[in-house]
Amino acid sequence: MKPYEATVIHAEMFGKDKHDHDDTEICCDGCGIEYTLTDYRTLKENKKLVYFLYEDFLVCHGCLFDEIKRHIPLGGEVKLRVLDYDARYFLNFGEEGYNIEDELG
């Protein structure tokens, strides 16, 4: 089974050429949680919140994990491939939660 794939969103990805880009707000398409890029950068650096681009949606980590968990077959596992700049790793979701595995090769 091909793993689901999501890309980590970084505050620097938004409008570097704009002077007011730090006041730009980004919003989760799942739950509607919204932060300015300045606040998001602080939350992400402190490991409190991460937004992902998943399919065509911008979602917070909570909404992404809930979506992935809905696809776990009974007694099975689902993989999510995470792209974070040059780093690539898998989150393996099973009945007991998830764990992280580095991508090999």
Predicted pLDDT at 63: 95
pTM, 2 dp: 0.81
CB 61 within 8 A of CB 52: yes
Q: What is the pLDDT of residue 18?
A: 55
Note the pLDDT of residue 17. Answer: 59
Residues lower than pLDDT 70 in the chain = 1-2, 15-22, 95-105
Judged by DSSP in three states, 80 sits in strand
Residue 31's pLDDT is 97
